[in-house]
Amino acid sequence: MGWHEHHAHLFLSGARERVEELFAAHLPDFQTFEPPQGTADPQTGIGRLNAWIRNFFVPILVQYPDWTALCTQAALEQAVKDGVSRFEASFNVGRDPDVSEEKFEKVLCGIMQVHAQTAPELELRIDLGFERPISPENQLLCLKKHLRFAEKSPQWAKLLYGIDLYDVEDAAEPEAFREVFETARNAGLRRKVHVGEFGTPEEIRHTVEVLEPDEIQHGIHAAGSPDVLKFLADRGTILNLAPASNRILGAMDLSQKPHPIRKIFDAGVRFTLSSDDFLLFGASISDQLKELTPWFSDLEITQIRQNCQTF
Residues in contact with Zn ion by CB under 5 A are 217, 276
Question: Distance between CA atoms of 101 and 146, rounded to whole angstroms?
Answer: 11
Question: Distance between CA atoms of 217 and 225, rounded to whole angstroms?
Answer: 17
CB nearer Zn ion, residue 118 or residue 246: 246
Nearest in space to 228 (alpha carbons), one of 207, 198, 255, 202: 202
Question: Distance between CA atoms of 8 and 19, rounded to whole angstroms?
Answer: 16
Q: Give min distance, CB of 12 to Zn ion, in A.
A: 9
CB nearer Zn ion, residue 112 or residue 217: 217
Q: Give min distance, CB of 194 to Zn ion, in A.
A: 5
Helix axes 178-186, 201-211, angle to 10 degrees: 50
Which residue minimizes CB distance to Zn ion?
A: 276
CB nearer Zn ion, residue 94 or residue 196: 196
DSSP-derived secondary structure letter, 276? B
Q: Give min distance, CB of 53 to Zn ion, in A.
A: 13
Question: Distance between CA atoms of 35 and 37, rounded to whole angstroms?
Answer: 6
CB nearer Zn ion, residue 15 or residue 280: 280
Q: Give min distance, CB of 117 to Zn ion, in A.
A: 26
Q: Give min distance, CB of 98 to Zn ion, in A.
A: 28
CB nearer Zn ion, residue 36 or residue 133: 133
Which residues make beta-bridge pairs with 273? 241
